Structure 1
Amino acid sequence: MTTLNALETPAALIDTQRLQRNIERMQARMDTLGVRFRPHVKTAKCPNVTQAQIAAGARGITVSTLKEAEQFFESGITDILYAVGISIDKLPRALALLEKGCDLKLIVDNIDTARAIGEFGKAHDATFEVWIEIDTDGHRSGIKPDDEALLEIARELQDSGMTMGGIMTHAGSSYDYHTPEALREIAEQERAGAVRAAQRLREAGLPCPVVSVGSTPTALSAEHLDGVTEVRAGVYALFDLVMHNVGVCALDDIALSVLTTVIGHQEEKGWAVVDAGWMAMSRDRGTQKQTHDFGFGQVCTEDGTVLEGYILSGANQEHGILSHVGETDHDIRNRFPIGTRLRILPNHACATGAQHPHYAALTSDESVDIWPRFYGW
């Protein structure tokens, strides 16, 4: 335990009050909609955050790497969905988790991987639970709900002795919208596509116990989830500027920030130079294509108060450029003297968190607890 004043900069801060509020908001919504909630833990990759989600009512977790699965399993969580199509060379690691007692679920979206999982499972006398990934918005991977490959993959899994666990989808294109009407529409598209895929499987006599959907914008926008059994979402716990632009959180909901110190000025340019460059913030410029461009992050005072008009407009590896949007601030040296400590809200919480070995978790009395986070694949 330490204090905010004692932290060296740059440092990744989590406001625990905002974090808890965000977690409770999402869980209450899922409870109201009548579905189980399986949070995606790739955003924080932090046992403390995940335990808070489980304490609020989450059941199971979603991971994006096998290393996350291994480390969260070691921390006591057994119900884990690995929500990235598995490369065949990773099957021995997945098998090792199964043999230790992990209730690991894999996903596939093609017949070749399904066949390889079946062959590997039979060769090692193992039964993998596999879900089929459905593409409901053309955003990334998965197969269309009405594609013939859906039934072919399910039959391949069943014939090889694997467990056909269900289907899952992720409406990642929801990040491209910013009105409540558009978000409700994409949430319904996600739901309907997933339910259609499940219906086709069941009509063909194939099992589909789980219908899993999710992204933070659709989870917070869906009007109903008829036919869905569970929802997944991740960035909601911390939120970020991209989510603010999408319209699902306010600036004071963003629980992650980077503490930084003013180390210099370029007065003629209206710049204050800080010690948080892209190595602290990441290079993610996700707000650049949205309605409001926050540069590399929104500037706040050390206590978290937003400084309207001031952003991290540029970033080198270890230097950040703080400036005013539009009119040059020629009083920048007096406004932000050397040694001034500030917080920067990030564009993308997942990417910014990944730049740091741990989080400084701020409690209401400004004391700080150090929370570990996971790295790697």
Structure 2
Amino acid sequence: MKLEQIETPAALIDVARMQKNIARMQARMNTLGVAFRPHVKTTKSIDIVRAQLAAGARGITVSTLKEAEAFFAAGISDILYAVSIVPSKLPRALALRRQGCDLKLVVDNPTAAAAIAAFGDQHGASFEVWIEIDTDGHRSGIQPEQQTLLDVGRILHDNGVKVGGVMTHAGSSYELNTPEALAALAEQERAGCVRAAERLREAGIACPAVSVGSTPTALAARHLEGVTEVRAGVYVMFDLVMHNVGVCTLDDIALSVLTTVIGHQEDKGWAILDAGWMALSRDRGTSRQSHDFGYGQPCLLNGTLLPGYVVSGANQEHGILAAIATDANTASLANTIAQRFPIGMKLRILPNHACATGAQFPAYHAIAPDRGSVEWQRFYGW
């Protein structure tokens, strides 16, 4: 199917851009001398993950057990489930391990650690558990110097549960936008996770893996001494938030939403699109950054950017394309909106957050340089 024939709205992947992004990240990890374990929650697509593995990635990171089950069924066995496990999900985790999946669990509290130990003892099963470390106060995890770190480690170790390593995610990197700030946070992330591993080892608890990562810190790190692997996900597509952070250009963004102009409100300077927040997602991450892209940056069908325009609003199935109010040519742009964007014209919208926008679709249309496409399925659910 050619690009022009795809029904809208649809999620498009520029394959050439995607491959460039994959190669860039893998080359960076090779230079830093660490293994790379991509986070597949961004795409949830076996076709894309196979491209990452072919480039040199080792294992994957998932955010749901559904992802773990689907990717294991597709032949990938080295999987880190990077969300703190709860007791109710242990039977599914055990089922995966008994089928041969090298599934690694994550905890950040004594209650979950004790539940894993008790469940394993009850079922005669063994688990590998990594301890989540909080290195930036952004989300969950145990701070490197907290006593809780050793408490969790001892609960696992003393009950015969393998402590496979420590892991952390510097999510606050999304709030930064200078190379200096990103490099500083990358070092904070590295040093904190390495320190946590050292404390466990000093207490007699083996801790072979030290896993860090976010797309911005992975690309900004100057060295990764003591780290064994890096995780990152959104880099494979990039998005407008990452553009504002400063780790990609608009021309690096590989994901877009194909949409059609379905109407106009000429007195308001609007073109109405058939891609609302059900297609673009409600994520407005750029609203807190230096450049607000509304609900997305419009482009022509061939990917050429349309400066001076933005998707300024979105209802469930309607998007509003408008001239940027601060643009010097706003009046003329608004007056010619119907001529510039006639009904039936197709556009592409670059997303604020690739993970959230991709999640709105059951499949991607992978676009080759000749504008031909193939369909890549993606996984849903938890």
| Range class of TM-score, shorter chain | over 0.9
Specify the alignment match of 1:8 in structure 2.
7
Alignment partners' CA distance in 2, 1:308 and 1:126: 58
| Amino acid in structure 2 at the alignment position of 1:277 | G
Alignment partners' CA distance in 2, 1:309 and 1:205: 60
Alignment partners' CA distance in 2, 1:249 and 1:101: 38
Alpha-carbon shift at residue 86 of structure 1 (Å): 1.1
Specify the alignment match of 2:199 in structure 1.
200
Specify the alignment match of 2:270 in structure 1.
271
Alignment partners' CA distance in 1, 2:339 and 2:5: 24
Alpha-carbon shift at residue 59 of structure 1 (Å): 0.2
Alignment partners' CA distance in 1, 2:138 and 2:291: 22
| Amino acid in structure 1 at the alignment position of 2:320 | I
| Amino acid in structure 2 at the alignment position of 1:284 | D
Specify the alignment match of 1:375 in structure 2.
380
Structure 1 segment 1-377 matched on structure 2, within 5 A: 2-326=1-325, 327-328=330-331, 329-377=334-382
Alpha-carbon shift at residue 87 of structure 1 (Å): 1.6
Runs (4+) of structure 1 moved beyond 2 Å? none
| Amino acid in structure 1 at the alignment position of 2:259 | T
| Amino acid in structure 2 at the alignment position of 1:359 | Y
Q: What is the Cα-based RMSD across aligned positions, in Å?
A: 0.5
Alignment partners' CA distance in 2, 1:237 and 1:344: 17
Alignment partners' CA distance in 2, 1:95 and 1:28: 35
Aligned residues: percent identity? 69
SS in 2 for 1:308: coil
Alpha-carbon shift at residue 58 of structure 1 (Å): 0.1
SS in 1 for 2:156: helix
Alpha-carbon shift at residue 352 of structure 1 (Å): 0.2
Alpha-carbon shift at residue 376 of structure 1 (Å): 0.4
In structure 2, stretches of 5+ residues that fail to align are none
Alpha-carbon shift at residue 160 of structure 1 (Å): 1.3
Alignment partners' CA distance in 1, 2:201 and 2:377: 43
Alignment partners' CA distance in 1, 2:4 and 2:346: 9
| Amino acid in structure 1 at the alignment position of 2:291 | H
SS in 2 for 1:83: strand
The normalised TM-score by structure 2 is: 0.98
| Amino acid in structure 1 at the alignment position of 2:47 | N
